[in-house]
Copies of this chain bind each other. A is one copy, B any other.
Amino acid sequence: MSKKRLLFPLVTVDIALFTIDGGELKVLLTQRSDAPFRGWRSLPGGVLDPVVDVNLLEAANRVMLTKVGLALPHMEEVCSASGAARDPRGWSISITYLALLPMDQIHVVAGRKVDGIEWAGYGSMTQDLAFDHSLLLKRAHRRLQQKVAANVLPLHMLPQKFTLTQLQRTIETITGTPLEKSAFRRRLKEQHAADLEEVPGEFERGVQRPAQLWKASKDYRFH
């Protein structure tokens, strides 16, 4: 461990990217190809490069774009983790970001054939992640749950056009508690009139009454 490393800690950004697939909450993980923790799974992340990164949020954006091929417009800082113990390379700081991916883009990631990238079911994860990433992931997940429970709509997880039932199922998957349809829609009308727009004349069809399609209002942000 060099003296430089002691005086100026290693700074990394790590991203917890969530989406919904098959009614299950999924999170994007990467397989580490280098030491430390070679072969372990971790949150996608990378080292801050002050020469190219304007700030930490932009560092997170760059990392996701270069390592996963995704431009994520709405990342939110969750927390920091720091100390000499969490990374064998020395004193380090990690900033964790929370991001949401529209469920219809989940296969875009898989399709890119970026090596060592996989979607893990959040509820069915058993192995520990590299570093303290299990803890970071837990914190990001808690933030996601808190915000949704506090009535912030996770519209960035939905396709551009979606039905209210899709939105309800998404929220139910995140919070883990079923919602009552009528009360849910009443709350949308009363408290989210500015967040949602009907797409006039567009409906999702099936063996049932067609469902009105909606979209997020321009400039809607989960964060």
Contact = CB atoms under 8 A, between A and B. Distances in A.
Given A50-B84, A79-B77, A93 B56 contact: yes
A8 B8 contact: yes
Contact of A8 (B4, B80, B81): B4
* Copies of this protein in the complex: 2
A54 B8 CA distance: 14
Contacts of A6: 50-51
A131 interface: no
A37 interface: no
Given A6-B50, A50-B84, A79-B77, A11 B55 contact: no
B9 A50 contact: yes
Interface residues of A, number: 26
Contacts of A80: 56, 77, 80, 95
A32 to B, nearest CB: 22
Looking at A6, A50, A77, A93, the one whose CB has the most chain B CB atoms below 10 A away is: A50
Contact of A55 (B8, B57, B82): B82
Nearest to A76: B79
Interface string A185-204: 00000000000000000000
A116 interface: no
A205 to B, nearest CB: 41
Interface in A1-59: 4-11, 48, 50-51, 54-57
Interface string A89-109: 001010100000000000000
A84 B8 CA distance: 16
13 contacts: A4-B8, A6-B51, A7-B51, A8-B11, A9-B11, A9-B48, A11-B11, A54-B83, A55-B83, A56-B80, A56-B93, A80-B95, A150-B150
Given A4-B7, A7-B50, 15 more contacts: A4-B8, A5-B8, A7-B8, A8-B8, A8-B9, A8-B50, A11-B11, A50-B91, A54-B83, A55-B83, A56-B82, A56-B83, A57-B82, A77-B79, A80-B95
